[in-house]
Amino acid sequence: MNHPFFKKLNILKRTLRLSPTRKEDIRAQLSQFIDEHQLEYVRRGDSHRLLIHKESKQLLNIKNLLRPMPIIAAFTILATMLGGGVSYAAQVALPGEAFYPVKIFGENLATDLTFSAKAKAELSAQKVGHRLEEASVLVAQGKMNATTSAILASNFEKNADEADNNIGQLKKSGDVTTAANVALNLTAFLKAHQEVIARFEAGSSTLVATLKELKGDVNERFDEAKKLSDDLNAEVVASSSEPVVKTAVEGRVTAAVNVINEAQKFLDNKKSDMSADGVAEANAKIAVAESDIASANEKIAAGAYADALDLADKAFREAKEVKILAQTQVLLNLRVRREDGREEASSTENVESSSTRSNEGQGEIHSSGKSTDKMMDTATSSKSDAADENGQGESKNLDLNAQGNIHLNAEQDSNKAPEINSDQNGQIKFKFEF
């Protein structure tokens, strides 16, 4: 190419570069950075001694929980297991535990290594969901106190800020429909956990003060996210041709139907761990969501796409709330049963038992030993939230067994447990009456 334009490009190729001094400066800093960010692991027999990233300067001995692998690979697996329900990722480490900063590091790394705006936004919304799930697990394990609540609130705020930014970037990139879908998912998490927090508070006066900061943050974030979601929906309807809008709205309806099916499946599998009233109320809410879907479809047929979107979103949030409330009730009921000591034997086996998870070819995390606990047999399914948004269905196992592991490995401080009352069957009397 002999044109002067290309000649200029060629000249610049040779001349435009870092100054030698600056290049060397950066190299020196990079070299130091590399030295500070080397990761190693040492394996000794049955006990896996993991040398954590030097930044955190912690030594952990995680026995029979993780296969021997470089710790950062474990983080990557954990981070990529985000999605759907009270997940393994939410439970493996909790605020206040030694492993928690390492888990957060892994999550942040996963976000850094995600390069598409869509994936970044979806991941960050899921992280918000996981912070809220951690709150439920903390309460279930009697570990929600001023310290853990403060850690949780701080991380929640950071993740919520990140989600807002990433949704904004997605919108700026021109993909308003996906931005709207992610915003909806975020509002669904927040709304459901508003209800969870309200019920925790209703069941325990101790928790009112402890959860005050988190509750305020969640309420504020829900209002902001709802407004954003509504604005994005309006933009979806206004900015495209009718066929495009119709497709987007139908996709939203499909996503809502998937979440309804998810919630129903969870109820069908876990009703033995819930109160009869709880199941009845959940089924009633699902019926409302299904009715909203029927109305949404009518609106689509009539060309009233904005109304259809509102109804589909309402159904989505309702179904998500059903599932999250049900999961939380199951969590709390499991803890009550263990405090009774009735399932102590099988719970002990859980420490040794494996929870084999296949995570899209990235490897497995499992421990040695056999699983005999009945909870493995009753593991439920939950879809990834990203899949929900796309209206596609694919199930992963909700690993209740992991709850047993964490519960027994973590230090128990029943003196700090919020009040939990249960009836003769181990069902919580007041905390989670729907």
Closer residue to another protein (CB): 30 or 287:
30
Cβ atoms of 48 and 74 closer than 8 Å: no
**How many Cα atoms are found within 13 Å in the side-chain-facing hemisphere of 174?**
1
Return the number of other C-beta atoms located less than 10 Å from residue 421's C-beta: 11
CB of residue 165 to another protein, shortest distance in Å: 7
For the CB of residue 110, give the shortest distance to another protein in the complex, in Å.
9
Count CA atoms closer than 13 A to 421's CA, side-chain side: 7
Nearer to another protein, 99 or 305 (CB): 99
Question: How many Å apart are CA 151 and CA 158, to the nearest integer?
Answer: 11
- CB 172 → another protein: shortest distance, Å? 7
CA dist 192 → 3, 186, 317 (Å): 62, 10, 7
Q: CB 235 → another protein: shortest distance, Å? A: 19
Tokens for 276, please give them: 């009869």
Neighbours of 244 (CB within 10 A): 12
- CB of 171 vs another protein, minimal distance in Å: 12
Q: For residues 82 and 140, which CB has a smaller minimum distance to another protein in the complex?
A: 82
Using the minimum distance from each CB to another protein, give the nearer residue, 26 or 238: 26
- For residue 404 the two structure tokens come to 């047993």
Burial 97-107 (b: 16+ CB within 10 A, else e): bebbbbbbbbb
CA gap 434, 426 in Å, rounded = 16
Please identify, using beta-carbon distances, which residue of 114 and 149 lies nearer to another protein: 114
Q: Which residues bind another protein (CB under 8 A)?
A: 1, 3, 5-6, 8-9, 11-13, 15-18, 22-23, 26-27, 29-31, 33-35, 37-39, 70, 72-73, 75-76, 109, 112-113, 115-116, 165, 169, 172
Helix (H, G, I), strand (E, B) or coil at 106: helix
Nearer to another protein, 18 or 244 (CB): 18
Cβ-contact 277, 200 below 8 angstroms: no
In whole angstroms, the minimum distance from the beta carbon of 219 to another protein comes to 27
Choice between 104 and 330, CB closer to another protein: 104
Q: How far is the CB of 251 from another protein (least distance, A)?
A: 23
